[in-house]
């Protein structure tokens, strides 16, 4: 997938259609202006990481706090981030999806699946 302003806009639109205006790390629902695209694996100047399978919607607070930390360090800092990434990161590369599943654990994966079910009446 090409990179650049148009590609980012297209990816953002696609992610909003998939998950709504929701942060993939904290599951908060900021306004559209308060939501950014985050490189799950920090790009550090490398455009290879600009692909859709490395981008998620992220609130400003999480984006600032994550900065260019590795995803492993970021998810280990708070288990709920891994659970939320399982829930909102199914489009990511297989390696990132597997890492989120491993860090969330079986109970976290089950929680993410319950919360993703549109018929589940609770927010836990």
pLDDT for 70 beyond 70:
yes
Calculate what percentage of the chain has a pLDDT beyond 90.
Answer: 65
pLDDT at position 9, please?
85
Number of domains in the chain: 1
**10 falls within a domain:** yes
Task: Note down the domain range covering 32.
Answer: 5-116
pLDDT one-digit tens code per residue, 1-37 = 445 667 788 889 999 999 899 999 999 999 989 999 9
Residues 6+ apart with CB under 8 A from 76: 103
pLDDT at position 123, please?
61
pLDDT one-digit tens code per residue, 30-39 = 998 999 999 9
**121 falls within a domain:** no
- CATH code of residue 27: 1.10.30
């Amino acid at each position: 997938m090409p990179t650049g302003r148009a590609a980012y806009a297209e990816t953002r639109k696609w992610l909003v259609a998939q998950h709504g205006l929701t942060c993939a790390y904290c599951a908060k629902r900021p306004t559209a202006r308060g939501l950014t695209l985050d490189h799950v694996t920090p790009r550090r100047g490398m455009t290879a990481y600009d692909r859709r399978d490395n981008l998620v919607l992220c609130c400003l607070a999480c984006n600032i706090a994550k900065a260019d930390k590795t995803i492993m360090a970021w998810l280990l800092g708070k288990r709920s981030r891994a659970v939320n990434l399982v829930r909102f990161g199914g489009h990511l590369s297989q390696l990132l999806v597997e890492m989120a599943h491993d860090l969330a654990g079986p109970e976290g994966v089950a929680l993410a699946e319950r919360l993703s079910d549109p018929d589940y009446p609770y927010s836990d």
